Structure formats: structure tokens, C-alpha cells
Structure 1
Amino acid sequence: MKEMKESRKTRYTRMTLQDSLFELMEKKPITKITIKELCENADINRTTFYAYYTDQYDLLRKIEDETLSWVKETLTNLIGKTDKYESMEVLEGIFQYFAENRKHIQVLMSEQGDIDFQKQLFTLIYQECGISPSATADANVSIKEDYFVFVVNGSIGLIQYWLKNGLNRSVKEMAEIIYSMSSQIR
């Protein structure tokens, strides 16, 4: 029974520190955020912080790793779906996740976010979908890859715009837009 309480407390502490980091990152880059400021903002002492993380970069890296892991798992569920209904269901789940975690996702994908994370995200999407930055001799494959890169970059830009504008479209509408765009390359 005590273990569950500790586990819940641990989850709460990590969530509070993550929220604090993103709140500060909305205002300034991570290079300007101190551990003292992060802990004061989270109302958690430094000793507690260091029990979980080595520094603010470690905290951000762990959040990014969790996000990339989620993206990989979600892409695995989406890839190979040929039925529109199944694809739309997965896409709606993705947009629901974005809506529920909009502050975090928005910061991760903004100018204040880590550019290396953003590159890893694109690379992961390309790899999971079988697109590699190789010079191919087949013109049809090359054109298909060009379309794919365009759709992925456009989708990310659209998601950023959607988050920045307060989720001005429903989860279902966003899923339909992305599905429509991506169906052009199938």
C-alpha cells in the first residue's frame, strides 16, 4: 500500500517539474533556466529535483524520449492501416493526445524547443514509414518520397499552427485534413 502512495507521489513530482519547465520555456530558452528557478516555480526543493534529474537538460531529454517513444508506438499502430475508418481512429487518437498535452507539445515544437528533438522526430517519422534520405535511381520512388516529406513537414506545420491558435478546429477535423493530405501519397 505504501508503494502505491510513493509511486503516485513520484508521478506527481515529475509532472510538477515537467509543467514548471514548460512554463518557464514558454518565456525563455532552456539555457537561461536555472535549477533554482525551476524548483521555486514548481514549489519543490532542489534535493527532490536532484533525486530524479541531473539538470534541466536531463529533465527535458527524458520528456523528449517519452514523446518519441509515444510517437514510435503510435506510428506502428497507424502504418499498414488501409481502412479509412481505422486510420481515422488512430489519427483522432493522435490529435486527442496533442490536445490534452498541448502546452508541452507546443513548447517542444516551438523555437524555444530543442532543435535536435525536432530533427529526431522527423527522422523517426521518416524511418518508421520506410523513407530514407538516400539517393535513389528510381524517379517514381524519389517523387513519392518528395510527396511524403512534403506531407510530413506540412502536417507538422499544421499541427503547430493548430496548437498556437487554441485548437481552432476539432480533433476529428484535424484528423480528416491529415488523412486527406496523406492519402495523396498512398
Structure 2
Amino acid sequence: MKELKVSRRTQYTRMVLQDSLIELMKEKSISKITIKELCEKADVNRTTFYAHYTDQYDLLRKIEDEVLLWLKEAIITLLGKITDKSGTMQVLEGICEYFVENSKHLQVLMSEQGDIDFQKEIFTLIYQQCGISPPSPTNIWLGINEDAFIFAVNGSVGLIQHWLKNGFKKSAKEMAETIYELTIHIR
């Protein structure tokens, strides 16, 4: 089937709604955001909103899905078939650079206002693509400790939250090196 081209108006409407949701999430949790205030902030009517999204949670999930799609593509592009330290560092640095370039949205998505499951999903995906995954009946023999994996994912989320919240006091490369050094022993 032929893929339909999204009009500029549709792209603009989605961008304005996404930006408006992110702005509102800086002030309060998504559960406290109404469709009415979201539409007022975006200067669109409710009918327009519902033509694109079912509710504010659907809108947030679409934003998160875009980030995850970029992340998956970036990992494949950056990592390729390299599984050594330089490949892992390239992936981590590229992802940290993405965080800097898209800090407007990611500061909120990775904050306490964001969805912790989404945040964990980001680092689980990164670590799995870099050859670090939680133990399962098929890979338990690799010596990967489930507690260490959970600690690495949650610790990385907290570290990125701190980095975003405090204005990128470390460069993307320094942040990638920090994450790498703190998680390398999980393998």
C-alpha cells in the first residue's frame, strides 16, 4: 500500500500539540492536564486535537515512540556490528548528543514528570543493543546479574535526569564515558 504524505498543516498541528503538552508537563503531571487547556495552549480546537490523538496520554506516547524510533535507528547506525568499547562509546555519545539537541522535550520526558517506564525502556534498549541484557534462562550462563542490570538501568536514568536538570555541566562525550565506566562491569 502506498504511504500517504503528511501535509505541512498536519505536521505543524502535531508539532504545536507536542510542544504544548511538553510545556504543560513542566508545570504539572500529565494526569492533571486537560484536553481543554492543551488545546488552548496549542491554539487548536478540540475537534482538531481528536483528529490526531485520543487523549493526552496518546499524545505523550506518540512523542515517546518518536524518541524510541530514533534511538533504535541511531543504535543500528552507530553500532553496526561493533561490540567493543569504541562502538559502545559511539552509541552512548550519539545518544547523549541527541539529548542535548532535543533537550526541550527530553528534559521533561526524562524528568520526574515523565513516564518512568519510558525512561527505563530507553536504557534497557541501549544496553540490550550494546550486548548487556538482563538474565534469562537462555543467557544466565553469561553471568549477568539481574540486580546489576536493574541498577544500571535505573542509575543511568537518574544520571541523565540529573544531567538534563542541571544544564549539561558535562559534555555529551563526558556523560557517555561516565555511563560506560559505571556500567561496564555488568557484562
Same fold (TM > 0.5): yes
Task: Give the Cα separation in 2 of the matches to 1:28 and 1:177.
Answer: 31
Structure 1: runs of 5+ lacking an equivalent? none
CA deviation after TM superposition for structure 1 residue 138, in Å: 5.8
Please give the alpha-carbon distance, in whole angstroms, between the structure 1 residues aligned to 2:174 and 2:139.
Answer: 38
The alignment's TM-score, normalised by the length of structure 1, stands at 0.79
CA RMSD of aligned residues (A): 3.0
| SS of the residue 2:168 aligns to | coil
Stretch deviating more after TM superposition (126-135 or 108-117): 126-135
AA at the equivalent of 2:143: V
Count of equivalent residues? 182
Report the more deviating stretch, 118-127 or 90-99: 118-127
Bigger mean CA deviation after superposition, 26-35 or 70-79? 70-79
Q: SS in structure 2 opposite 1:155?
A: helix
Distance 1:46 1:61, change over 3 A: same
Distance 1:91 1:119 in 2: 15
**Secondary structure of 1:26's aligned partner:** helix
Determine whether 1:97 maps to 2:98. yes
Distance in 1 of aligned mates of 2:71 and 2:83: 19
2-side partners of 1:185 and 1:102: how far apart? 28
1:168 aligns to 2:169 (yes or no): yes
The verdict on how the C-alpha distance between 1:149 and 1:102 changes in structure 2, with shifts beyond 3 A counting, is same
After superposition, give the CA deviation of every residue in 1:21-48 in whole Å (9 maximum; x if it has no partner).
Answer: 0110111111111111001111222222
- The answer as to whether partners of 1:126 and 1:132 remain within 8 angstroms in 2 is no
Query: Which residue number corresponds to residue 21 of structure 1?
Result: 21
How much does 1:132 deviate? 3.5
2:63 is the alignment partner of 1:63: yes
Q: For residue 132 of structure 1, what is the aligned residue in structure 2?
A: 134
Provide the rounded CA distance (Å) in 1 between the counterparts of 2:17 and 2:152: 34
Asked whether the equivalents of residues 35 and 56 of structure 1 are also in contact (C-alpha less than 8 Å), the reply is: yes
Checking the alignment, whether the CA contact within 8 Å between 1:26 and 1:112 is kept in structure 2 is yes
Identity %: 65
SS in 1 for 2:40: helix
Matched residue, 1:157: 158
TM-score (normalised: structure 2): 0.78
Q: Distance in 1 between matches of 2:116 and 2:153?
A: 17
Residue 106 of structure 1 aligns with which residue?
107
